[in-house]
Amino acid sequence: MKIELAKSYGFCYGVKRAIDIAEKNPKSVTFGPLIHNKDEINRLANNHNVGLVESLDEALEHDTVIIRTHGITKDRLQRLKADGKKVINATCPYVTTPQQIVEKMSQEGYTIVIFGDEKHPEIQGVASYSVAAERTFTVLDESELSALPLGAKVALVAQTTRKPDAYQAIAAELVVRVQELRVFNTICNATFENQEATEELAKKSDIMIIIGGKNSSNT
Amino acid sequence: MKIELAKSYGFCYGVKRAIDIAEKNPKSVTFGPLIHNKDEINRLANNHNVGLVESLDEALEHDTVIIRTHGITKDRLQRLKADGKKVINATCPYVTTPQQIVEKMSQEGYTIVIFGDEKHPEIQGVASYSVAAERTFTVLDESELSALPLGAKVALVAQTTRKPDAYQAIAAELVVRVQELRVFNTICNATFENQEATEELAKKSDIMIIIGGKNSSNT
């Protein structure tokens, strides 16, 4: 039996960075799972005394709170800071970017369209940075666009782990629907490279085993 | 024999407006053909004493110069004004829009991509408003994009008479090539409606006759 590894795999930059931050901050908790990988979260708990809380109320009981790679909503982050917590931000910089874009573009009057899963914490965080919830929409494909009151100016961002071709289809549909479309390429290269390597390896393999979190969009 | 007319046809808003302006300004010349329709240009010359000059030198010999619907280059317009000519601007407002967008976006540092025919007067005019010729490119389809040094930020405009689906294909390609893409829908509705009506009529006709200028992008 021949075992071949994909050309690109493993933890991405943002995950490695978050683990590094967590290891350097023992006696802390992460608000929500730091990354979508149970083994790694257990290792951080056992070897580095980094706990996990799931709600804001629980987080407020601790002194040092680490923000997960996927980010959290703006109001929760503000609440933690307002309550004097030591907040350590392990949000992936590639997630911080769409948060900032959504805030700025919504301030400038653009309707916000987010390509992603509205139940995913990253997207809940990104969407929360809009200053105008009534003109902020999350879609999974271009068929959802026709029902939306888009207005004349739209800014489009994508969840970091989405596929580029699906993003292109949404952008193409918007081009003819609005007067001005501003598309920000917020899809992460690491995800894209892993997706390409997976496709390539799948073509020449009998069986593929993908090791990762079942709740992870990266996986 | 049954003769059926297309649902949408005839002179567009910009052409009607330009003819109206010309009729109200006898003893003038248009710099380049006012519209791409020889019969109408002859009518304006014979009935309204509106002449036609083809070069800047010729235009400078006259007192009143009408700017064609397609617009002219920024430097030529400035030269006519600097020489004290009475300049009557019959540029279609739908052409003025991409001129202004190209000027503003190039000032803000965007690379300019124009979807259109670089030999068409409208596109020569639109492109001339860029303050950075070295990062201003005109393309006819998405295959031309790979050779261009686009940079991180691109603004995209289209010739008013182009087809929406071809514009969508160019935008989709740019989405994954650059960090930020700003697409302005500068395709004219009138053109689009005539194109749709033509397609519809073609499906149910044995023979179609299209009356228009052979050098007209509208036709």
- The DSSP string of A37-64 is -HHHHHHHHHHH-EEEE-SHHHHTTSSE
CATH of domain B94-189: 3.40.1010.20
Among chain A residues, CA nearest to B177: A185
Beta carbon pairs, A and B, within 8 Å? 61
Distances (CA, A) of A215 to A37, A43, A72, A92, A195: 8, 18, 17, 17, 17
Q: How far is CA B142 from the centre of its chain?
A: 20
Q: Is the CB of A172 less than 8 angstroms away from the CB of B176?
A: no
Least Cα distance to A161 among A204, A190, A137, A203 occurs for: A190
pLDDT level of residue B168 (50, 70, 90 thresholds): very high
pLDDT at A136 over 80: yes
pLDDT at position A106: 98
CA angle A10, A13, A15 (to 5 degrees): 75
pLDDT at B212 over 90: no
pLDDT at position B183: 98
Using a CB cutoff of 8 Å and minimum separation of 24, what contacts does A37-40 make? Answer: A37/A212, A37/A213, A37/A216, A38/A213
Cβ distance B182 to B105 under 8 Å?
A: yes
pLDDT at position A217: 76
pLDDT at position B7: 87
pLDDT level of residue A8 (50, 70, 90 thresholds): confident
DSSP-derived 3-state class of residue B204? helix
pLDDT at B218 over 80: no
Per-residue pLDDT, averaged over B109-137, amounts to: 98
Q: What is the pLDDT of residues A65-83, one digit of tens each?
A: 999 999 999 999 999 999 9
| Least confident piece of the model among A194-198, B75-79, B165-169, B174-178 | A194-198
* Beta-bridge partners for B171: none
Residue % of chain A over a pLDDT of 90? 84
Residue % of chain B over a pLDDT of 90? 84
Q: How far is CA B219 from the centre of its chain?
A: 13
Q: Is the CB of A182 less than 8 angstroms away from the CB of B181?
A: yes
Q: Within 10 A of B193 (CB to CB), how many other CB atoms are there?
A: 15
Q: Which of B167, B176, B178 sits opposite A175 (nearest CB)?
A: B167
Residue % of chain B over a pLDDT of 70? 100
Contacts of A181 in chain B (CB under 8 A): 171, 181-183, 185
pLDDT at position B219: 78
Per-residue pLDDT, averaged over A124-146, amounts to: 97
Average pLDDT, chain A: 94
* Residue limits of CATH 3.40.50.11270 in chain B: 13-91
Q: Is the CB of B183 less than 8 angstroms away from the CB of A180?
A: yes
What are the residue ranges of helices labelled H in chain B? 13-23, 38-48, 56-59, 74-82, 93-107, 121-128, 164-175, 189-204
- Asked if A46 has any chain B CB less than 8 Å from its own CB, the reply is no
Which of A113, A154, A174, A183 has the most B C-beta neighbours within 10 Å, making it the best mutation to test the interface with B?
Answer: A183
pLDDT at position A190: 82
Q: Distance (Å, rounded) from C-alpha A219 to C-alpha B190?
A: 48
- Asked if A185 has any chain B CB less than 8 Å from its own CB, the reply is yes
Distance from CA of A178 to the nearest CA of B (A): 7
Q: Which of A168, A176, A178 sits opposite B175 (nearest CB)?
A: A168
Q: What is the pLDDT of residues A31-58, one digit of tens each?
A: 999 999 999 999 999 999 999 999 999 9
- Asked if B108 has any chain A CB less than 8 Å from its own CB, the reply is no
Contacts of B183 in chain A (CB under 8 A): 171, 175, 180-183
Q: Distance (Å, rounded) from C-alpha A3 to C-alpha A84?
A: 51
B122 is catalytic: yes
pLDDT at position A191: 76
Q: Which of B179, B180, B183 sits opposite A175 (nearest CB)?
A: B183
Per CATH, is A13-91 categorized as 3.40.50.11270? yes
Per-residue pLDDT, averaged over B38-49, amounts to: 95
Q: How far is CA B133 from the centre of its chain?
A: 19
Q: Indicate if the alpha-carbon torsion angle A93, A99, A100, A102 is positive or negative.
A: positive
Choice among B40, B122, B142, B173 that is catalytic: B122
Residue % of chain A over a pLDDT of 70? 100
ipTM metric: 0.89
Q: Which of B168, B178, B184 sits opposite A172 (nearest CB)?
A: B168
DSSP-derived 3-state class of residue B93? helix
* Residue limits of CATH 3.40.1010.20 in chain B: 94-189
Among chain B residues, CA nearest to A170: B172
Among chain B residues, CA nearest to A158: B175
pLDDT at position B54: 95
Structure-block tokens of residue A133 = 């919830």
Q: What is the DSSP string of A163-201?
A: -HHHHHHHHHHHHTTSSEEEEE----HHHHHHHHHHHHH
Q: Within 10 A of A111 (CB to CB), how many other CB atoms are there?
A: 23
What residue type is assigned to position A188 of the chain?
A: C
Contacts of A183 in chain B (CB under 8 A): 171, 175, 180-183
pLDDT at position B32: 96
